[in-house]
Chains A and B, each alone.
Chain A
Amino acid sequence: MTRDTISKVKFYALLLMFLPVVAFGQRKQPKAKAIRQTIISSRVTDENGAPLRNAMVSTQEGTVTTYSGEDGSFVLKALPGSVVMIQANGYEDKVIEVAEGGVLDSYALEKMPLFSSSRDVLYLPLGITTSKRSTVSSISSIDGADLETYPDLLLTNTLQGRATGLTVRHNTGELGNNAPALIIRGLSRGGSDGAITIVDGVERPMEELVPAEIDRVEILKDATAKVLYGSRAANGVILVTTKRGKANTRVTKVSAEYGTMMATRMPKFLGAYDYATLYNEARENDGLAPFYSETELNGYRNSAGANDQRYPNADFYGYFLKDAMPYRRASLQFLGGDNRTQYALVVGYTGASGLEKINTPTNDRFNLRGNLDLEVTPSLRAFAGLAGIIGMTTSADITSGAVFSRLSSHKPNGYPFIIDNEELRNLNAGVGVTSIPALGGSLQHPDNLYGRLMYGGSQHGQNLAGQGTFGLDLKLGNIIPGLAAKSYLTFDNYQSFSRGQSETPVSYGQRWFLNDAGEEQVTYYKLQKRVIQSDQVRKGHSISRTLGWVGEVKYHNQVGVHELTGDVTYFYYRNESSGQLQDVENSNLALRLAYGLQNKYYLEGTAAYMGSNRLASKNRHFLSWAAGAAWVLSEEAFLQGSSAVNFLKLKANIGILGYDRATDYYLFQNRWYTNGTMPFNERNQTSFPRTSIELIGNPDLDWEKSREFSVGVEGLAFQNRLQFEFNFFDELRYDIIMRQGAQYTGIHGGLVPFTNYGETSNRGLEGSISWQQSVGEVHVKMGGNFIYSKNKVLKTDEVAYPEEYMRQTGRGSDALFGYVANGLFRDQAQVESHAFQTFGAYGIGDIKYADLNSDGLVDSRDRKQIGNSFPRTTLGMEVTLQYKGFGLYLLGTSELGVDKMLNNSYYWNFGEGKYSTTAFDRWHPQNNPGGTAPRLTTTNGANNHIGSSFWLDDASFWRLKNVELSYTLNTATSFAKGYRFFVRGTNLLVLSSIRDLDPEVLNGGVANYPVMRGLTGGVSLSF
């Protein structure tokens, strides 16, 4: 497949995107007035003829609905030739075509074994489906509608705590650019452990989707499920299925939500007077004279604020940030169809603006998705999916990250924002150029934050994403019963573009001195020239496009008690991105066979021939395999009819998968490149081009492999009230491709090839449990999920130092290494009797470290594991309460057994940095003899500011992540059939031993946006 072909395909895809998808959907809309309706009346029974009550009977795409009575009878108005659908729990759906001659007297529904109806279908990659009953792997799933309770700009942020085995770790980031890390079943590699996301059959980003588009999110964890997706899936797969129309079910839904987001925890920094006082103390500690005189200290104490010319005292956070920012969301869903054609159209809007008061950033996004399934002939179905995302951002010329880093580093008394001097104002203002006030600045920070935001220009970003899927589904039952084929093609295009204007306002430093008359006088010196950019320029752009191609032949047949399924699938995936010389290319040819006996025993095996362009041709393909078995114990005689156990299944699976996603290209061949020049000539003017070897290739480089085993139990008990699932997993990732730089000598010149060396084992236990019960009119569902995982590096590139405690091998890949701190030196005797510390000058009031190897020196060989950075356990807890129309939903999330280094600028006060309120805790013999933090210093305090247990804290937390209170009203008479009013809250409460900043996102508010507390309200209407 050449690039040209991809371009052509892309062209057609774009063309198709403009075709009105909706038109198909509305084609079959009957004109009610023109056609005479007939009244049909019948009865619903079970297989034995006994009446079934409360079965739902609907027609006209679900717009006309009734329920069967005590005797199973129902009466319904329907159009001749239309379709009536009957649905009842535990039974397969029944579809009746209303013939001219009327309907039968009664319809018997077929009883289905638990978890095997069409509502229990599980999607596997490449369009392969299985059912909850027959699957041998553990798949947790989230209903798309559940994700709506968490208002956020990114879909991935809504996933925390909702699915067993998925750990969502939040990061700080800009507005709408704070995608979390998604880790499935712990750290399986020990580096680059993230899962891939698949949207509608191909690897695609999911964070910019909106919940309204989502039918279901599934977490694929076991080898038997992942192997189908080939060489990129071993870390786990998050499989997103978007909404498709259902025959005879129409959904028209409009939803709007508005609210506000407030910062939770923000770092607190000292005001000018406190800062200056403590800075003098730091100078004194360093043996230097005070920097600020008494007069100056008094000046700061009585400062007029941020623009006090002589004694500025700026509260940067208060000055530049709002307390809250707005959040907006709306969506329109339009789904339905008949037996021949099903359509889905979802339109979404999400928007927010940021916390900055000046040049407030905004982020708005429109999502549009249309899915269409179409019967061409009775044996041929075509399907198409098109999605578009348009995102727009505006901001000041600097990122929010840069704004927050300045908030947390610019000192309160650094400079007045505006210099009160009219003469300076008019300097540099040319004809037609805005005159701006003179801005303050300091040698340390010449760029005034106020000026940067106000006069520094702006940025506008645009993101466009287009995703297309086209496929055919062919029934070949007339050749071999049960045979079908399917093929689809996907192509995506992602483009981002930004433009903006970067300007630099002029800034001046001030120098105050005493004139001859003994009065204070000021002179100004210029720090920054004014730079004006008259036009907007392109700031950046990137393009990425993806082609996917899937072919599948499937066979499914049930002969008596034997159920046989076979799939042969082939897929090809290619991604090209700007700035990347080599395209990602993968293929996978898989044969999957599944066998079920008596709805009780299930066996499944898959062999996959994976291909990757990252390995030498002799190793380019790898045969992966996975096999599993499940046993539905509850079908056995000894459990059948048990009143306590309704369903019980044991399952196990094992497999070896190839993995190439973390490997770079061409590591197998020696790579040379032209490497600059060397100047010769008497005047050093002739350049001779040089060549260098970049990499010694390893032609034998082979696949990284994952050997996985898991065993689990799942079931239902106590009249289906208790649902549970527990899985134990044991994974071994081996032949991890790495460079053994530390393990090879330098004698060959530092050219270390990549080898299949690393090995990491990972095991753990995951589970979920829930209980649901109705008490009177109150319906309660409560449950939770957990995962406990611990990995161990078995082989990695490191020197086998004699000090066992220094080694990574044998420890978790997330081990935090550091020095063991034993508090502070309290007197000179302690300093002198202690082992010599080699990091920098130290004395009383500095941190004392343990000399672990007792060699009389504290140096890099005295570091050991002092904590771990990935949570041993993550938890999600959900409670749903329903009473009449009222609903309450609570989600709690938790990480346990995790540590963090408190090492950002909020915790570390030293040098010329800003001081936070933690500076009050510093130790000083007179001023604060009870202090717990090291003494202040104007140097870099090298002895104190290194990773040690002194700065380590337990970062375990429990968070009330999400609350939704709703009221639903269904009426048949008003213009909408259903009204749902809701109020939602996010991040309402967090419990942790870290109290100053957010334990989950320690850099929130320091390096970028803090964790936001959301409060929104809205309404959704169904028609």
Chain B
Amino acid sequence: MKNIKFIYAIVLLFCLGCEDYLDKSPDLGISEGDIFSDYNSIRGYLDNCYVALNNIHDWDHQPNLERQSINAMSDEMGAIFNYAAIKNQINTGNWLNGGFGEMSWTAGTAGTYNASVINNSFYCIRVANKVLAGVEQLPGLSTEQKNELLGQAYFMRAWYYFELIKRVGGMPKFDKAYLVDDDMDFPRLSYHESSEWLIADLTKAAELLPHTWPESETGRATKASALALKAMAALYDASPLMQNGLSTVQKLDYNLERCKVAARYANDVLKYLPASGARYRLMNGSEYAEIFRYTSVFVSDESLWYNNNTGPMGNRARGLRVLYLPQRFAGGTGNDAAAYSNPTQNIVEKFEVLKNGEAYPISDPRSGYDPQKPFENRDPRLKNNIVVPGEPWGLNANGAQIYQELYPGGTDYNNATTNGNTAGREVSGYMAKKFIWPEANNFQQEWSKYNLNTVYIRVSQVYLDFAEAMNEAYGPNADPEGYGLTAVGAINMIRNRVGMPNVLQEFTASKEIFRERIRNERAVELMFENHRWHDIRRWMIADELFADPTPIKGLVATPPANHRNVANKSNLKFSYSVKPLASEQRVFKMRHYWYPIDLKHVQMLRNLTQNPGW
């Protein structure tokens, strides 16, 4: 009977109803089991920690710092770009409310270069924890593979934890890959306790990591990276700011015992480097510029821990244009071209003057410093780091020489003052040179002539770390532990290799006097490398440096009246004067020594107490 067939058909329809047709399409997704079953894929997961490394030459390296770097938060640089968060929020002291860049816990997409450092720190600590747990459960790994994975994971956990605590102070130990419903409301540890934890990680990492990687894997953290970071972290732990507890911020002294530890760790690095069999060395003076930019290979011999990833810089031109080049050199009229960093007179004044084989600070009358010939006989690193008014810099489209014209009436000066993106900001008169080359301009377009990466720790920093720790622990000239090098000796190594004489004898008279010279040396040597901001915080001198309402100074190089008709601008006879840059604000009170804990986290985690003053 025909009708019965239809009934069957309909019944069949219902029967099909609840079976497996709602299953997923086979095209989708890899499972967690797949990842943690194989050396390559687990390493592929760990490598997210490398991708997330901060790149100081990327134009937007911390989202919404907007064409500036944290150098412009210290006294090294000014922020000429009107729309920079640094200018509008950070340097006005308004750190609590912004979701931007340096202070933000959330800005950007975590796990990419394009996220704030703190956001990435939490992400990468989790990645490292997940790998640490996963490696233990993974059968079939060779000891070597296991050591590589564990060594890098411990190193990365320590690195990102250090990035975190140096900004916000002591944190709980994050030793597990937390999920959202885990209890994360732990009490904060003191800075020292936190630091001890990361140093323990680095001790493990140093044991597990190789001296060198095969060529194809150059760029991964090595034993030298772990040892150098350990020394750096120990010096931070010994520094004045880090001696503060969680409830107050006050001016304190170095912790002498921790200085001794830091000195020991730094000595370990210096002893290890020549013995490592790797390329590490303090490069000589004639190679000084090549420490920062390299031809052919991607890393200089002085780099101990660095970011091998150029990916984020994408078009390298953009980072160079935005961070270092005024409009004419950068090309175009938009934001990218208008923004550039503006090295300050403050930092230029730290370069000593050479006179009769000795070097003096410019304030010293013996230096014979002539404010009308400010660039004569200065520390050679000034010429390496700064383009001064009228200095030849690159060729234009017709192949003719062009000059830096950041002086009143000059082309670059006029561009900056009339462009809407920079109007109202005062230029310092200087242009940063340390990382760039003259052909990297809009006319010659040789943006890729050199390689450029972010170096976090290089050999000369280890000497500086050593000197600072030794001086505080034992004084300028003592070596009770038999390291074979004193604080003064270490500083002189750094100076001598660029042709600077030893520090004046009289400056090594006491720990306190020599401390100022160490700090000056550090400012000069590590200029623009994103160190000074954290240094003036840990030394607790930022509030004094920025006590004046207009603490940042620039140089006004007034050219002669007919300067437009002079083809060779380097022949111009400028008259120089120093002036405070009223547009450069630096609001810095005691509470600003620690970054505020993100509001949301303070509200959610009762034990994660807010830093004092926020």
Contacts and interface: CB of A to CB of B under 8 A. Distances in A.
B218 A681 contact: yes
A315 to B, nearest CB: 26
Interface in A667-710: 669-684, 686, 688-693, 696
A797 to B, nearest CB: 11
A665 B45 contact: no
Nearest to B123: A749
Interface in A547-604: 549, 551-553, 568, 570, 572, 581-583, 585, 587, 589
B603 A675 contact: no
A582 B417 CA distance: 55
A747 B94 contact: no
A938 B338 CA distance: 14
Given A582-B24, A612-B22, A840-B88, A589 B127 contact: no
A974 B600 CA distance: 80
A474 interface: yes
Contacts of A684: 219, 298, 308-310, 451
Contacts of A472: 6
A669 B217 contact: no
A287 B216 CA distance: 56
A679 B313 CA distance: 13
B34 interface: yes
A975 interface: no
Contacts of B381: none
Interface stretch (A645-653, A855-863, A922-930): A855-863
Interface string B1-33: 011001101100110111001111101111110
Contacts, number: 255
Interface string B272-308: 0000000000000000000000001111000000001
Contacts of B400: none
Interface stretch (B178-186, B483-491, B525-533): B178-186
B105 interface: yes
Most buried by B among A478, A749, A839, A840: A749
A652 B233 CA distance: 70
Contact of B119 (A444, A676, A750, A859): A750
B97 A672 contact: no
A290 to B, nearest CB: 11
Contacts of B599: 799, 801
B28 A666 contact: yes
B311 interface: yes
B51 A487 contact: no
B25 A675 contact: no
A553 B10 contact: yes
A705 B305 CA distance: 53
B601 to A, nearest CB: 5
Contact of B219 (A379, A676, A681): A681
Nearest to A552: B10
A551 B180 contact: no
Contact of A746 (B9, B105, B299): B105
B30 A691 contact: yes
A5 B215 CA distance: 53
Contact of B82 (A549, A672, A939): A939
Interface stretch (A80-88, A737-745, A1007-1015): A737-745
Q: How many A residues touch the partner, as a band?
A: 35 or more
A838 interface: yes
A1 interface: yes
A692 B109 CA distance: 13
A693 B179 CA distance: 13
Contacts of B601: 745-747
Nearest to A798: B600
B547 interface: no
A671 B27 CA distance: 13
Nearest to B51: A678
Contacts of B310: 679, 684
Interface in A732-759: 740, 742-753
Interface string B34-49: 1100001111110110
Contact of A288 (B106, B118, B418): B418
A443 interface: yes
Interface string B569-613: 000000000000000000000000000001111011100000000
Given A582-B28, A680-B218, A838-B94, A749 B23 contact: no
B6 A474 contact: yes
Contact of A680 (B7, B48, B308, B598): B308
Contact of B603 (A380, A617, A801): A801
B44 A674 contact: yes
B111 A670 contact: no
Nearest to B106: A746
B456 interface: no
**In the A-B complex, the 6 residue pairs with the closest CB atoms:** A749-B126, A551-B13, A750-B110, A613-B22, A749-B123, A748-B178
Interface of B: 2-3, 6-7, 9-10, 13-14, 16-18, 21-25, 27-32, 34-35, 40-45, 47-48, 50-51, 82-83, 88-89, 92, 94, 97, 105-106, 110-111, 118-119, 122-127, 174, 177-180, 182, 184, 213, 215-220, 296-299, 308-311, 332-333, 417-418, 420-421, 423-424, 451, 598-601, 603-605
Given A476-B7, A749-B125, 20 more contacts: A1-B21, A478-B3, A549-B13, A570-B17, A609-B18, A611-B18, A611-B22, A613-B23, A620-B22, A621-B18, A678-B50, A679-B219, A680-B217, A690-B48, A746-B105, A746-B118, A746-B598, A840-B88, A859-B97, A938-B420
